[in-house]
Amino acid sequence: MRIDQFIYHSSQLIESSKAGDSARLDAELLLAQVLNKSRSYFYSHPEYLLSDKQLEMAQRLVELRCQGRPIAYLQGQKEFWSLSLAVNEGVLIPRPETEMLVEFALRLDLPANASVVDLGTGSGAIALALASEKKSWQITAVEYIDAALKVAKHNIETAAGKDFSALHLIQANWLSAFARHSFDLVIANPPYIDYHDPHLKQGDVRFEPSTALVSNEQGLADIKSIALQSTHCLRPGGYLIIEHGCDQSQQVKEILNNNDFIEVQCHRDLSDNFRFVSAIKK
């Protein structure tokens, strides 16, 4: 089969499966992965004939996409900030809205050698993005789940050539491993979805680990733990930044106000939903 025929047929299959709203792009990305070529190659070589093996591999990926598997898992990677991160079904696929927490953190007035912790690092997205911008920050990435820890380790090691020597990964339950006044900044994108939320049965999240998504107490249990533990582990004047669900900003604000934080502020994402809260430890 020719490249242009494959793309045409695969786009139709993906579109009719309702797996996503970018069927042609998905088909091209999956084929690009199999052929190890950029998408522009398809436009200059539409007549290229796929070998049986290439066709079989590409068809298998399209089949999985039609079943709803996220394109990032099928490609095994996702762009976040300026980084290409390896991902698999052991980690959350990093989201563009989380880049806003990174952007916000980079604008804070912190010491040159700030001590920073990224809680629930998953693929390592937040920690690596911060480390790529602030070489002198001492950054710790914390992860609890073995499968995610493995992915974070891989991404940190792969990025090691970029001199991320001040970035350390540890396995721990949130801040339980740290002493009083350890950090100038605690940043976290914790699980915050309620067990009964219907979104868990839709789209990409169906394939993401529930340990990255779901939390008790209407999705607020982990946010509460992090807020409470941060009052101990942050230095006075240190910052806390937490991502949350778009309908949780008032509750998260209240949790922080009740936990020794001041200047609690809610921030919106690019879709204009409240998405994260920042606060300062008294």
Ligand X SMILES: C[S@@+](CC[C@H](N)C(=O)[O-])C[C@H]1O[C@@H](n2cnc3c(N)ncnc32)[C@H](O)[C@@H]1O
Does 252 engage in binding with ligand X (CB under 6 A)? no
Contact 93, 87 (CB under 8 A): yes
72, 164, 190, 220: which one contacts ligand X (CB under 6 A)? 190
Nearer to ligand X, 30 or 101 (CB): 101
| Calpha distance 207→202 (Å, rounded) | 9
| Calpha distance 251→133 (Å, rounded) | 32
Nearer to ligand X, 45 or 268 (CB): 268
- Residue ranges in 65-94 that form contacts with ligand X under rule CB under 6 A: 91-92, 94
Cite the beta strand spans of the chain per DSSP E: 77-80, 83-86, 115-119, 138-143, 167-171, 183-188, 234-243, 261-268, 274-281
Does 98 engage in binding with ligand X (CB under 6 A)? yes
CA distances from 107 to 63, 103, 235, 249 (A): 44, 7, 18, 21
Stretch that binds ligand X, among 32-40, 63-71, 107-115, 121-129 (CB under 6 A): 121-129
Nearer to ligand X, 66 or 233 (CB): 233
Cα-Cα end-to-end distance for the chain: 66
- Minimal distance, residue 125 CB to ligand X, in Å: 4
Cite the beta strand spans of 146-260 per DSSP E: 167-171, 183-188, 234-243
Does 144 engage in binding with ligand X (CB under 6 A)? yes
Nearer to ligand X, 31 or 126 (CB): 126
Closest CA to 239 of 264, 216, 259: 264
Site string for ligand X, 160-189 (x = CB under 6 A): -------------xx--------------x
Contact 123, 155 (CB under 8 A): yes
- Minimal distance, residue 115 CB to ligand X, in Å: 18
- Minimal distance, residue 89 CB to ligand X, in Å: 12
Total residues at interface with ligand X (CB under 6 A): 23
- Residue ranges in 208-237 that form contacts with ligand X under rule CB under 6 A: 211-212
Question: Which residues would be at the binding site for ligand X (CB under 6 A)?
Answer: 91-92, 94, 98, 119-123, 125-126, 142-145, 148, 173-174, 189-191, 211-212
